[in-house]
Structure 1
């Protein structure tokens, strides 16, 4: 049968890379005709560097308000607080500077503004693509990590009551523009930069290995994986290597091609959602721990030889992809087990049960029928 598929392109308008963030953001804001810009930024960058001050200076009197207190994992209440500030400021553009939690928060704020959302209960109406009115206030994202959420039309928001990460989706919440400035990432702690790089590796690998993979996504994910692996090794060896940091950012961008074109992720992402929302494990670390274990568990069902493509893209044709990833992640000094992040075997049944309810575990390339099989994967990562 002839191969079939469908690729839907996003509402992102442009990606600017290699230019100073302040200069690029000012040009994009001018192009958008923005007059009341709402900045959502990393609190650490705001307090400890001049990066935010430079961007504010470039935007001049068009900055209407600044929000700099978004916690990790993007909790609902903080999203609502940011929404209230943006609404009061009459924002006509959101500019984010920071990691994935800040980026996702702004995507959620776009939906909340468009739909008049002001309470945690009202956010239920925005989950899983159910939102009504499309966003009008768009976003320019300046990422400082490599988790690549800025290239997705999905916002992950944690429901504090249930400790579950919920998905908010709308084609127009993907940022209108992204600015990749490698110099800005020098302020990001090494563990965060490298671990979120493994998150991007996870996007590439699970996209390549998906049963729904297609050539358009493969081309970008395979190139992205090569850039990430080489770039992160170079950054680890020399944190001041801006060319290496640029390669990491470009690889991160390419890593999102599978997700952005409809290719589902697998068990590493699904289990990672639970580890992040319910146990507070940083997103990058969830991928460091789970990806090699998932690849080893999936290897027995890899009749199409997709894992061989991963090994070749990492520069080691013929190697076992799970072992190769484990060695690479360990070489970066990242945690390699659930025990290393304080999760004992007693928690495995709870994790396994919750993972089955995520969007990705049921789409794993080796079918997962129930929690017992998730427990097998967790045992490999123990």
Structure 2
């Protein structure tokens, strides 16, 4: 399913609640990061995703600082659009998306918030097997040499968004059920580093 036209109008977003706009932007960051780090990535999606990260990091911080300025909002919209190139070209996502789907469906966690919490955790877990790809993420975020997980977590914190599951209303006693639900998601098997049920549960515990 592909759009025949895309309208990017920052004026439309002016009434969007701040938490929703910013967390949706981090969801787009998640798309771009997991595409760069994917086991099925390609040079086309890689280039689009890196530019998406540049636009999104600049745009989200600008929108937070200057909410009435349309320019950073347009950066965010353009970056979000570019972050979808991988999805439209068959690039598989990883555990941030897979666990995120379970968090939403099982615990009612907002979609963008799942990325705020899970993406740094999953990046740390995957780092031993895709360090070179994560270095590309760090480069796109403007700080080569700094771990990608730290940069994403820092961006989330700078935007004033939640960084732990318990800050989003998820109860510890729900973690087993969430882990079991995540194992049915299509993007757990395509995570760059293999994950079983115990591994997913451990990531949730780290994120909680």
Shorter chain as denominator, the TM-score bin is: over 0.9
Per-residue deviation, 1:275:
1.0
Alignment of 1:209 onto 2:62: no
User: Which of residues 132, 146, 162 in structure 2 aligns to 1:335?
Assistant: 162
Alignment of 1:87-106 (within 5 A): none
Is 1:378 aligned to 2:204, yes or no?
Answer: yes
Superposed CA RMSD: 1.0
Highest Rg: 1 or 2? 1
1:256 and 2:84 are equivalent in the alignment: yes
Does structure 1 residue 323 correspond to structure 2 residue 160? no
Alpha carbons 2:35, 2:91 under 8 Å: kept: yes
Task: Report if the CA contact (8 A) 2:106-2:177 is conserved.
Answer: no
SS of the equivalent of 2:6 reads: strand
* Aligned mates of 1:325, 1:181 — CA distance in 2: 26
Tell me, in whole angstroms, the C-alpha distance in 2 between the residues paired with 1:175 and 1:253.
11
Post-superposition Cα deviations, 1:272-328, rounded to whole Å, max 9, x if no partner, equal 11111121111011111110111111112225x100000010000000111111011
More displaced stretch, 188-197 vs 372-381:
372-381
Relative contact order, higher structure (CA 8 A, sep 6+): 2
Match of 2:21 among 193, 206, 222: 193
1:122-145 C-alpha deviation (Å, 9 max, x unpaired): xxxxxxxxxxxxxxxxxxxxxxxx
Unpaired stretches in structure 1, ≥5 consecutive residues: 1-152, 154-173
Runs (5+) with no aligned partner, structure 2: none
* Alignment partners' CA distance in 1, 2:166 and 2:85: 32
Aligned residue pairs, count:
208
- Which whole-Å CA distance do the structure 2 matches of 1:318 and 1:266 have between them? 23
Of Structure 1 and Structure 2, the greater helix share is in 2
Pairwise CA distance, 1:260 = 0.8
Equivalent residue number for residue 265 of structure 1: 93
Alignment of 1:152-171 (within 5 A): 153=1
Matched position secondary structure for 1:300: coil
User: Per residue, is there more strand in 1 or in 2?
Assistant: 1
Cα shift readout 1:184-219 (whole Å, capped 9, x = no counterpart): 100101100000000000000000001111100001
Normalization by structure 2: what TM-score?
A: 0.97
Report SS of the residue matched to 1:179: coil
**Runs (4+) off by over 4 Å:** none
Instruction: State the Cα distance separating 1:176 from its structure 2 match.
Output: 2.2
Distance 1:276 1:331 in 2: 24
Distance in 2, Cα, partners of 1:228 & 1:288: 14
SS in 1 for 2:189: helix
TM-score by length of 1: 0.54
Helix, strand or coil: the match of 2:7? strand
User: What CA deviation, in whole Å up to 9, does each residue of 1:331-376 have, x standing for no partner?
Assistant: 10001001101212221111111101011111001111x2101012
1: CA distance, partners of 2:123 / 2:90: 21
- Provide the residue aligned with 1:354 in structure 2: 181
State how far apart, in whole Å, the 2-side matches of 1:218 and 1:236 are.
27
